[in-house]
Amino acid sequence: MDIHEYQAKELLKRFGVQVPRGGIAYSPEQAVYRASELSGDKWVVKAQIHSGARGKAGGVRICANEKEIAEAAQWMLGRVLVTHQTGPQGKLVSRLYVEEATKIAQEIYLAFVMDRKEERVVVVASGQGGMEIEEISANEPESIIRSVVDPAVGMQAFQAREIAFSLGLDAALIPQAVKTITGCYRMMEDTDANMVEINPLVVTQSGEIMALDAKVSFDDNALFRRPEIMEMRDKSQEDTRETFASDRGLNYIGLDGQIGCIVNGAGLAMATLDMIKMAGGEPANFLDVGGGASPERVLMSFQAVLNDPDVEAILVNIFAGINRCDWIAEGVIRAVRELDLKLPIVVRLSGTNVEEGRKLIAESGLPILTAETLAEAAEKAVVAWKAATLKEAV
């Protein structure tokens, strides 16, 4: 789960990380009022969406007076902002963050990420802040600093000092840098975050270290024990298909194809996507229905897949262990009847109660295609999809 920049800064502030003063606004009038509360002679108006690269899309503006603030807010609010991270569909701007402008002396990149290979939190830092990490890797690879944190002891002060010195910070700034680095790590650990990225972390002309931007992601599987984090969720920034599925306990990731997939097990789901591609089709989603799926859960899975208007065929691929093929078959039959499905459906069943499942489908009298193997199922799904597309075109 992602959160907005202003929410990330509120969390960082709790753990001793300095951030510029700012306030949230939902209208141009509120934006002007927030600036007057902050005082000063320059302010930054930022569109709040779950994406980086907002500045390049016009979502971050430096303003010198009330008129400029109002105009910037008017332009941003209600606009669908498109960045290279949002994709062509963009994200709707419904709130702004107005903060005091900061005089910058140095920019730094600082991130804490879960490295699955190391099975540790890894600190990634660079003295070349303000750019995406991909740009830094390409342009200044020698500037990237990596430091692995031992989970048994956490981020230690000596380790934070090593990172700070490697960034070339002035000796007088090292205590502040240590406080910032250890504060970020404690926030990550105490909130079950799986990424904390500050870009840029700046040294101001007055000698302070501040987080000018912040991006934080959380482990979805830990949200049940973090209700205060869950309250920060903004569903308007999420893919509606994925939101529908996650609210019903389904593991779903939307893709760009036309063949919907309902599979049990992440590995089998990935293999199914590959087989569809090899057969000449394009998968519309990754969906793991999970173990012990009831007919009701299968029905919900169909609903999740059909929330994508581009889906023109559905492939159900089940290798039942904990699951039962007869339950899956009941769910498929219910979905076809209750949702009045007209698009092609291919079902491949294997494992526990497979004969009972196949019998239920055969006796249903519904136009459901069946297959013995995954390769056959993928081939049938692609052929059926192409035939249905051609028929519709004619």
> Is 139 annotated to bind ligand?
no
Measured torsion, CA atoms of residues 136, 139, 143, 144, in degrees rounded to the nearest 10: 40
pLDDT score at 176: 96
pLDDT score at 245: 87
Is a pLDDT exceeding 90 seen at residue 133?
no
Query: Minimum mean pLDDT among 51-55, 127-131, 150-154, 279-283: which range?
Result: 127-131
> 234-293: per-residue pLDDT in tens?
988 988 888 888 888 888 999 989 999 999 988 999 999 999 999 999 999 999 987 767
The mean pLDDT of the chain is 92
Strand partners, 148: 122
> Is 199 annotated to bind ligand?
yes
Q: What is the mean pLDDT of residues 292-305?
A: 88
Is a pLDDT exceeding 80 seen at residue 393?
no
Hey, what domains does the chain have and what are their CATH numbers? 20-100 (3.30.1490.20), 104-230 (3.30.470.20), 240-393 (3.40.50.261)
Is a pLDDT exceeding 70 seen at residue 92?
yes
> Is 99 annotated to bind ligand?
yes
pLDDT score at 138: 79
pLDDT category at 394 given cuts 50, 70, 90 is low
Q: What is the mean pLDDT of residues 217-241?
A: 90
Query: Minimum mean pLDDT among 42-46, 131-135, 241-245, 319-323: which range?
Result: 131-135
C-alpha 27, offset from chain centre: 27
> Is 162 annotated to bind ligand?
no
Is a pLDDT exceeding 90 seen at residue 131?
no
Catalytic, out of 6, 97, 109, 185: 109
Residue 27 identity (one-letter amino acid): S
CB 49 within 8 A of CB 241: no
Is a pLDDT exceeding 80 seen at residue 147?
yes
> Is 10 annotated to bind ligand?
no
Place of tokens 């502030």: 13
Catalytic, out of 5, 6, 97, 197: 197
> 158-202: per-residue pLDDT in tens?
999 999 999 999 999 999 999 999 999 999 999 999 999 999 999
Which of 80, 134, 88, 90 shows the shortest CA–CA distance to 111?
134
pLDDT score at 130: 72
> Is 86 annotated to bind ligand?
no
pLDDT category at 137 given cuts 50, 70, 90 is confident
CB 352 within 8 A of CB 321: yes
pLDDT category at 323 given cuts 50, 70, 90 is confident
> Is 323 annotated to bind ligand?
no
pLDDT score at 312: 93
Q: Is 109 a catalytic residue?
A: yes
Is a pLDDT exceeding 90 seen at residue 89?
no
pLDDT score at 139: 78
pLDDT score at 12: 97
Q: Are β-strands 259-263 and 313-320 bridged in parallel, bridged antiparallel, or unpaired?
A: parallel
* φ, ψ of residue 98 in degrees (nearest 5): -110, 120
Is a pLDDT exceeding 90 seen at residue 47?
yes
| Alpha-helix residue ranges (DSSP H) falling in the chain | 5-14, 28-38, 66-76, 133-139, 157-166, 174-191, 227-230, 240-247, 266-278, 295-306, 325-338, 354-363, 374-393
